[in-house]
Amino acid sequence: RKEVEQDPGPFNVPEGATVAFNCTYSNSASQSFFWYRQDCRKEPKLLMSVYSSGNEDGRFTAQLNRASQYISLLIRDSKLSDSATYLCVVNGGRSYIPTFGRGTSLIVHP
């Protein structure tokens, strides 16, 4: 089993839709979690950290479920500009090595 797993998609949604991605992780000792956004042929950029209590930033909501070992990202009212790959990152355990998922591709169409 991979350390961090994501459905690669693509998720093809119309503008205005709500879409959710999940990311599962195998190391129960993981301590910190992030969502990054990566546009085609660009570097990953931090979208948001994921806190135990969940957190929201505008149209984006991230949640952590430690019992089931997954994190989620919810995007409301999708915009064309949300089209990108969303990378899940899990840190922790015995080292500071961050582990990335392979990313979930989102395509928002008119």
Partner 1 sequence: DTGVSQDPRHKITKRGQNVTFRCDPISEHNRLYWYRQTLGQGPEFLTYFQNEAQLEKSRLLSDRFSAERPKGSFSTLEIQRTEQGDSAMYLCASSSGLAGADTQYFGPGTRLTVL
Query: Residue numbers of the site for partner 1 (CB under 8 A)?
Result: 4, 6, 8, 32, 34, 42-46, 49, 87, 89, 91, 95-103
| Calpha distance 13→109 (Å, rounded) | 6
Closest to partner 1 by CB, 43 vs 110, is 43
Q: What is the closest distance, in whole angstroms, from the C-beta atom of residue 107 to partner 1 in the complex?
A: 15
Q: Residue 63: CB partners within 8 Å, gap ≥ 6? A: 50, 54, 71, 72, 74
Beta bridge partners of 108: 13
Closest to partner 1 by CB, 20 vs 46, is 46
Q: What is the closest distance, in whole angstroms, from the C-beta atom of residue 78 to partner 1 in the complex?
A: 22
